[in-house]
């Protein structure tokens, strides 16, 4: 473009033609310029212009702002604000965060194998992985982390402590923890931690196997194949439940590989389309499948996203299995990492993906989501219909709609408050300290005596929460004040409010079964780890019960896939 301008200038200076000829030449050159200056060239000029303005602003602020500035923090905020205006998944990854990003894609990191969260002035251990360094060293859920190699951790955030716990495999440190009234010094040797993609598999009914897939790391498909092989060792496998609930996704390639376990070689699973036409691709199964005929149910919910939606969408579009649960998250965008200077990376959305029927499950509007992140209600007029291989109607624009819709597990306000205030966690910590681990397994049930002990323990604990009814009542009170009706019905409203406050005293007993179920799952997890928690939770899982019902009735199974 600059070259064309210089040529234009020289031509006008050196020309000896008449004024009229010059004018004609200018018109011709302008026309030529319009032909050669493409939209992308204009875009590059605009990019250069805006970068020039930004660099000047950045320099002026750092030179002349009244207080000292931190250039790196200013730049981080500028970058993150810019990227957040695009979509929720395009993000900047600093060099210091690369290790965490690698862990998300491979499930591997150097560390101790424990989950932590902030608790008052310190960080508390929430869970430990079986046979991980923390487990071997004797770290337990409920331990407060006081110091690392004598350095106090008071006031540190959970992310700061996490960074200190991670490191090269083979390196060691001394961790000081508080357990109850005691303090312990535990020597820990870091190892390469591999987070399992399949934390649990087993039989949930005669002949019906269950496989929980928690993420799509680079070993997801292998772990599922191994799980199927293990299931086939012990019994005649007649049906499989693949649980993708709460699975946020991961590698697109592994979504194809997982689908390939149940779908024949050469079948398109997903295609991607974006601005760069050369990057558009069709992803097909490359290997011979494990089994293409065994009845299959895929469980999804509002937390099933990305790669989970590719798998469930392909299974549904190809009529390979029945999808049960709640509408999935609705993330139909593909990200690619681009290397930047100084070891940083940019994770940028480069395309959208489409299931075999041609639908894109990306939510139509990024911002229109419910409080839990799930897709809000979308008018049918905004969604396009597609058909599966057998002619069943499916829709785009807002996640995967299950073939059988179930109600999600909902916590009562009192249980939510007990969890958020760490009261259930703390009681279980004390309970486990007095129990023999040999008496606890996935079949464990809380006794009536245990329940009475819990009620006695919780009696003097502070528990503040507001029910939905109380929230609505508070809104009514505020509205009546605004509209000047409050004085007329003040006494009645206060009586109602007092009645609801009194009923809270009975909320724990009224929600006994729900609270007991949560306590039992937490207790089992302390002894049998994540595997035990999942196994225990399946005993009262309505989605799993529905899946067993479908897989146990071949006529019903085939009817769903035909209609």
Cβ burial of 274 (10 Å; 0-12, 13-18, 19+) is middle
Taking alpha carbons only, the member of 508, 494, 431, 496 closest to residue 463 is: 508
Nearest Cα neighbor of 260 from 189, 315, 185 is: 315
Q: Catalytic residue at 372?
A: no
Tell me the two tokens of residue 287: 């290997």
CB 264 within 8 A of CB 320: no
- Which secondary structure element, helix H or strand E, spans residue 142, and what is its range? none
Rounded to the nearest 10 degrees, the angle between the axes of helix 252-260 and helix 307-317 is 30
Query: Residue 331 catalytic?
Result: yes
Q: How far apart are CA 138 and CA 498, in angstroms?
A: 48
- Cβ–Cβ < 8 Å for 210, 239: no
Q: How many CB atoms lie within 10 A of CB 91?
A: 20
Neighbouring C-alpha atoms within 13 Å toward the C-beta of 233:
8
**Residue tagged 């071949």 (tokens):** 554
**Of 524, 442, 433, whose CA–CA distance to 140 is shortest?**
433
Residue in 306, 308, 357, 537 annotated catalytic: 306
Write the burial class of residue 199 (CB in 10 Å: 0-12 exposed, 13-18 middle, 19+ buried): buried
**d(Cα 311, Cα 318) in Å, to the nearest integer?**
11
Of 243, 317, 396, 401, which one is the catalytic site residue? 317
Q: Which residues pair with 113 in a beta bridge?
A: none
| Angle at CA of residue 537, ends 242 and 217, nearest 5° | 40
Concerning whether 306 is annotated as a catalytic residue, the answer is yes
Report the sign of the C-alpha dihedral through residues 149, 154, 155, 159, in that order: positive
Contact 398, 370 (CB under 8 A): no
Q: Which two tokens stand for residue 138?
A: 């004797």
Task: Tell me how far apart the terminal alpha carbons of the chain are, to the nearest angstrom.
Answer: 59
Which contiguous run of DSSP H or E holds residue 237?
none
Which tokens belong to 420? 């958020």
Distance CA 257, CA 222 (A): 9
* Alpha carbon distance 84, 510 (integer Å): 44
| Residues 199, 531: Cα–Cα separation, whole Å | 6
403: nearest Cα among 259, 330, 309, 299: 299
196, 219, 331, 536: the active-site residue? 331
Ramachandran class of 464: left when φ > 0, alpha when ψ lies in -120 to 50, beta otherwise: beta
**Strand ranges (E), 355-482:** 385-387, 393-395, 404-405
Please give the structure tokens belonging to residue 20. 């009229």
The closest alpha carbon to 321, from 402, 430, 227, belongs to 402
Active-site residues: which are they? 306, 317, 331
């Amino acid at each position: 473009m600059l070259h064309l301008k210089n040529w234009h200038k020289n031509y006008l200076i050196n020309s000896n033609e008449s004024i009229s000829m010059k004018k004609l030449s200018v018109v011709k050159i302008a026309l030529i310029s319009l032909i050669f200056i493409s939209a992308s060239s204009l875009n590059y000029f605009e990019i250069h212009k805006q970068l020039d303005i930004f660099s000047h602003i950045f320099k002026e602020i750092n030179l002349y702002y009244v207080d000292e500035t931190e250039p790196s923090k200013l730049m981080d905020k500028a970058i993150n604000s810019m990227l957040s205006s695009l979509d929720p998944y395009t993000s900047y990854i600093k060099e210091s965060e690369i290790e965490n990003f690698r862990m998300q894609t491979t499930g591997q990191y150097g560390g101790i194998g424990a989950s932590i969260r902030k608790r008052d002035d310190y960080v508390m251990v929430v869970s430990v992985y079986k046979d991980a360094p923390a487990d071997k060293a004797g770290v337990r859920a409920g331990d407060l982390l006081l110091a690392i190699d004598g350095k106090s951790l008071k006031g540190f955030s959970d992310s700061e402590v996490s960074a200190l716990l991670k490191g090269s495999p083979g390196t060691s440190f001394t961790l000081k923890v508080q357990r109850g009234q005691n303090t312990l010094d535990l020597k820990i040797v870091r190892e390469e931690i591999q987070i399992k993609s399949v934390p649990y598999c087993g039989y949930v009914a005669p002949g019906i196997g269950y496989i929980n897939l928690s993420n799509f790391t680079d070993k997801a498909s292998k772990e599922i194949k191994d799980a199927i092989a293990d299931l086939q060792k012990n019994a005649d496998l007649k049906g499989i439940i693949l649980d993708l609930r709460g699975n946020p996704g991961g590698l697109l390639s592994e979504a194809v590989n997982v689908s390939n376990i149940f779908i024949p070689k050469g079948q398109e699973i997903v295609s991607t389309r974006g601005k760069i036409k050369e990057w558009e691709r069709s992803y097909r199964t490359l290997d011979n499948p494990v089994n293409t005929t065994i009845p299959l149910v895929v469980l999804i919910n509002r937390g099933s996203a990305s790669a989970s939606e590719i798998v469930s969408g392909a299974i549904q579009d190809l009529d390979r299995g029945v999808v049960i649960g709640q509408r999935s998250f609705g993330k139909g965008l593909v990200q690619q990492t681009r290397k930047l200077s100084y070891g940083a990376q940019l994770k940028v959305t480069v395309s959208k993906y489409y299931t075999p029927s041609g639908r894109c499950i990306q939510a139509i509007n990024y911002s229109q989501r419910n409080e839990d992140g799930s897709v809000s209600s979308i008018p049918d007029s905004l969604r396009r219909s597609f058909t599966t291989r057998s002619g069943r109607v499916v829709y785009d624009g807002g996640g995967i709609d299950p073939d059988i819709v179930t109600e999600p597990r909902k916590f009562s306000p009192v249980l939510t408050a007990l969890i958020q205030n760490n009261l259930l966690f703390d009681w279980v910590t004390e309970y486990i300290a007095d129990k023999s681990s040999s008496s606890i397994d996935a079949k464990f049930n809380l006794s009536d005596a245990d329940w009475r002990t819990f009620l006695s323990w919780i009696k003097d604990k502070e528990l503040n929460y507001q029910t939905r009814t109380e929230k609505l009542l508070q809104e009514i009170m505020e509205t009546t004040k605004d509209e000047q009706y409050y004085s007329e019905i003040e006494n009645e409203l206060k009586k109602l409010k007092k009645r609801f406050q009194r009923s809270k005293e009975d909320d724990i007993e009224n929600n006994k079964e729900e609270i007991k179920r949560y306590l039992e799952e937490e207790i089992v997890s302390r002894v049998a780890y994540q595997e035990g928690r999942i196994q225990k939770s399946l005993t009262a899982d309505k989605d799993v019960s529905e899946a067993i019902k479908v897989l146990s009735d071949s006529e019903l199974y085939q009817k769903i896939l035909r209609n």
